[in-house]
Structure 1
Amino acid sequence: MKSAGRAAVGAVALAMTLAITACEDDGRTGILTDEPSPPTTETTTTTTLAPTTTTAPAAPVAPPPVGDVPGNPAAAPALAAWATDLVSLDVDALTNACWTMPPTTIADRYSDVPAILTAIAAPGVDGQYAVTWSGGGLSVAAKRSEIASGYACPFVFPAGQSNFYTAADASHAVVRFLSRATGRPVNTRDVETFYPLICPGNSPWDPDGTGATGQPPLKLDPNQLAGIKSFDADAATVTPVRGDYVRVTLPVTDGTGNSRSMQFTLSIGPEGYCLGAAT
């Protein structure tokens, strides 16, 4: 009986060994299933990057040649700074840069670029109030305040013309002055110290030709416009008086909301049109 029992145990052990061997031969372990699991497939994704392109920065524009000015070494570099923008900027950008000029005049005043470049290539002449370059029948004149700023926006006019200031220049002088008075200057650098707009009184103030010998009223009291809060620049009109004198009239509004027409009398001084009186 003991022999029979050992034989039975041996038979069971052999059967289990065969079963395990069969599982290992199939390359699987654990519980057998009717369908084998599909093999794992690794997917490799390849990303194609666009080639890197680099845009080289635009080469700086070389300053156009500007004639030296004997006795005034700062004049040529100041005009060259403007001339560089003349050949590289559009009209709007040049208008913003030349805020001392009437905005409506820039496109026409600086339109003949080749002629301007010809004129400024000649040696400059240092005059009483401005430096002037002339050539090819054209003159380019930069005021002293423009030269002192390091960026000289000049007047351009036919050579030999004695008075190159226009009605637009007179109106713009008033607009700049009122812009300062109302706390909104056309540019933060537009202050009387660097860009004088009040007539200095170098000659007797006599717009009506009465023989008066006094000083310009605005020079005596430059703060008399402190009550003005706003004005209508688009409604300005310019009327000649006599000689260099003109009157600019436009609506202004005070702090109480009252509006009235105000009249400014201007003349031509060292910095162009200047204000001498306001009524």
Structure 2
Amino acid sequence: MTKATPIDGGDIKSAAAWTRKRFAGVDIARTALRESGRRGVLGGLAVSVAVLISGCDSVVGIPGDEPEPAATQPTSTTTTGANTGGDTPEPPAVSQAITRWAADLRTGNLDELEQKCWTMAPLNVRAMYAEPAPILAALDQPSVGNGSSTVWKSAAVTVIANDRELATDYACPRVFATGTTLAFNDADARHTVRRYLSRLVGEPVAPTDAEGTYPLVCAAEPGSWDPNGTGSATTAPLAVDPDASGDVTAFIDQSLESEWPRGDYITVSATVTNAAGGQQKRTFTLKSGEEGYCIGDVSA
């Protein structure tokens, strides 16, 4: 197993540099992002895609894990957002959820976006949303639903919002360069475990972060759990036994580490405190899907 290179708490440039080295052949929107827009748009989007492939996360309020303050981006002059053209009209709830987010994006206040987009690893938020202009331009395009998400696409940028989040009051979409593939990284996996453990100790990262609205545990059906690649998929163990994590009363956020076993699966370890006051290491196994990572198993 190759241990994921943690860049938690580091600057975004380091994340981008690490990814360029690992994925040297990726050419991000090379035609649409030239000349006057190259320095600004490519600077933001290359980093955006970089952190979607590599790893970069932090939590506000945890000493030593806060991202460095980012320069406030210029307010975009784009006047529209979430264009609802096309053959399939966009439901009003979708328009409201994405428009609220787009209004905040226009201000360029990354600190506010980081707080409101708590379902994502904080530095992933900062990287994806660093350049509002091309994102807002993509939102001017007609939206297309694919059954589980809604997509806005321009020649340079693709914006995709999970329908589950679009059903809430505020939707934070993923942003990546058009022509590349949306991918979830090890920072996403660690943040999933962070949110799961935060719930267990009674301190969710947001008041509304609950399993019923934002599932983090892999669904029992269909039984597609096969981290060892045996070819015989089963139901995820944590879906069968939701109490497998034990009586966790606290955890050390800085202890979160990730490794890639194989394929769509990743493990994240964390040091937790049990009801008796003792500390133990727990290892969580997660699977990547269309909506991000879900936790399927936990072991001591």
TM bucket normalised to smaller: 0.7 to 0.9
Give the alignment of 1:84-99 within 5 angstroms.
Answer: 84-88=103-107, 90-99=109-118
Amino acid at match of 2:187: A
Residue 117 of structure 1 aligns to a residue in which SS?
Answer: helix
Pairing 1:67–2:86 present: no
CA RMSD of superposed structures (Å): 1.9
Residue 270 of structure 2 aligns to a residue in which SS?
Answer: strand
Higher Cα radius of gyration: 1
Distance 2:165 2:175 in 1: 14
1:109 maps to: 128
Would you say the 8 A contact 1:198–1:219 is kept in 2? Answer: yes
Distance 2:254 2:197 in 1: 13
Residue 246 of structure 1 aligns to a residue in which SS?
Answer: strand
Distance 2:175 2:222 in 1: 26
Select between 235-244 and 66-75 the one with higher mean Cα deviation. 66-75
1:175 maps to: 194
Pairing 1:133–2:152 present: yes
1:104 deviates by 2.1
1:192 deviates by 0.7
1:274 deviates by 0.6
Would you say the 8 A contact 1:64–1:84 is kept in 2? Answer: no
Distance 2:90 2:256 in 1: 37
1:230 maps to: 250
Change (3 A) 1:178 1:192: same
Would you say the 8 A contact 1:62–1:84 is kept in 2? Answer: no
Distance 1:272 1:128 in 2: 16
Structure 1 residues 222-250: Cα deviation after superposition (integer angstroms, max 9, x where no partner): 12224011111222111112221111112
Corresponding residue to 1:220 among 220, 227, 240: 240
After TM superposition, the score normalised by the length of structure 1 is 0.73
Pairing 1:211–2:231 present: yes
Percent identity, aligned pairs only?
A: 36
Would you say the 8 A contact 2:78–2:137 is kept in 1? Answer: no
Change (3 A) 1:75 1:63: farther
1:203 deviates by 4.5
Give the alignment of 1:41-80 within 5 angstroms.
Answer: 64-68=80-84, 70=88, 72-73=90-91, 74-80=93-99
Give the alignment of 1:156-195 within 5 angstroms.
Answer: 156-195=175-214
Amino acid at match of 1:65: G
Corresponding residue to 1:100 among 83, 97, 119: 119
2:293 maps to: 273
Would you say the 8 A contact 2:143–2:152 is kept in 1? Answer: yes
1:57 maps to: none
Size of the aligned set, in residue pairs, is 219
Select between 236-245 and 187-196 the one with higher mean Cα deviation. 236-245
Extract unaligned runs of 5+ from structure 2: 1-76
Amino acid at match of 2:156: G
After TM superposition, the score normalised by the length of structure 2 is 0.69
Extract unaligned runs of 5+ from structure 1: 1-60
Would you say the 8 A contact 1:63–1:80 is kept in 2? Answer: no
2:64 maps to: none
Distance 2:274 2:78 in 1: 49
2:171 maps to: 152
1:112 deviates by 1.5
